[in-house]
Chain A
Amino acid sequence: MGIGLQHYLAVSALLFCIGLLGVVLRRSLLVIYMSLELMLNAANLAFVAFSRFRGDLDGQVMVFFIITVAAAEVAVGLALIVALYRRRQTVQAEDLASLKL
């Protein structure tokens, strides 16, 4: 049985949902960040699969850009988390509720 586009899309969709669950359910900001990376990677997998089965390289160039932007995003986000920890001494999302009414 050949492996087609749908197989890769199914893996990608599953990964995206796992990442989404992590963002919704976990409380540590760092783990939430890792789940975001998972979601980005799921999108990357879908892009590469489409690129392969369409027969052009544009999707792969897009993945290249996504990886670059994700690296920049991780750097800024982690700097924010460190700054937050210096002020509030916590990285738990539930302890950061000072904007709550």
Chain B
Amino acid sequence: MEALLFYLFAALTIGCALLVVANPFTRNPVTSAMFLVLAIVSMAGLFVMLHAFFLAAVQVLVYAGAVMVLFLFVIMLLNVREEERRPFRKLFLGLGLVVAGTLAAALFKAGRQPPELPAATTLEGETRPLGRLLFEGYLLPFEIVSVLLLAAMIGVVVLSRKDMNKMPRETAKNVIE
């Protein structure tokens, strides 16, 4: 049963990830975003199988909820058309495949003999033990991350101010032409 569920979720995750990157039917970014939501939700299923219940919930809430809404919002805001299918330059396609293939080979070689680990204990990634660890052992990183979020917020506000995006005259002329 467990194996069946694992293969189901793994296949869903990888299939949806492939459809995010290389959908044979459409190059519409909205489709990619929707398949990314599916991939993230099925990955939350994998997290549940690893007994990381809190992280599964956070994954669905933060990624599938907040981050993807942000993505869709920007796609709609920019009114992005379908990506044109320009022919790839053969050299770059080959290089990309070589890079990904080499990485895959290296990762699989490293993963074939994982270090000897103690047998899986009855570890439960529930909210209480995770929160305890977060506020005892990882208090300083937690505070630093909160400062990082504040910095990101200020950065976004500054970046999307109107007067920062005034076009210089030459660019404006180019666009009109």
Contact = CB atoms under 8 A, between A and B. Distances in A.
B13 A15 contact: yes
Interface string B138-167: 100100010011011101100110001101
A96 interface: no
Interface string B8-36: 00100110011011100001010011001
A17 B17 CA distance: 10
Contact of B52 (A37, A41, A60): A60
A31 B149 CA distance: 24
A87 B155 CA distance: 18
B125 A60 contact: yes
Interface string A6-20: 111111011111111
A99 to B, nearest CB: 14
Given A33-B71, A61-B130, A26 B103 contact: no
Interface string B112-124: 1010011011010
B14 A11 contact: yes
A76 B155 contact: yes
Interface in A68-89: 68-76, 78-83, 85-89
Nearest to B52: A48
B91 interface: no
Nearest to B164: A83
Instruction: Determine chain A's interface SS by DSSP, over half rule.
Output: helix
B100 A20 contact: yes
A30 B114 contact: no
B107 A13 contact: yes
A12 to B, nearest CB: 8
Given A30-B75, A31-B83, A51-B123, 8 more contacts: A18-B17, A22-B21, A30-B78, A34-B29, A52-B51, A79-B159, A79-B160, A86-B165
Interface of B: 2-3, 6, 10, 13-14, 17-18, 20-22, 27, 29, 32-33, 36, 39-40, 43, 46-47, 49-52, 54-55, 58-59, 62-63, 66-67, 70-71, 74-75, 77-78, 80, 83-84, 86, 88, 92-93, 95-97, 99-101, 103-104, 107-108, 111-112, 114, 117-118, 120-121, 123, 125, 129-130, 133-134, 137-138, 141, 145, 148-149, 151-153, 155-156, 159-160, 164-165, 167, 171, 175
A-B residue pairs, 7 tightest by C-beta = A72-B152, A22-B21, A13-B107, A24-B96, A55-B121, A79-B159, A9-B111
Interface of A: 1-3, 5-11, 13-22, 24-28, 30-31, 33-35, 37-38, 41, 44-45, 48-49, 51-58, 60-61, 63-65, 67-76, 78-83, 85-89, 91-92, 94
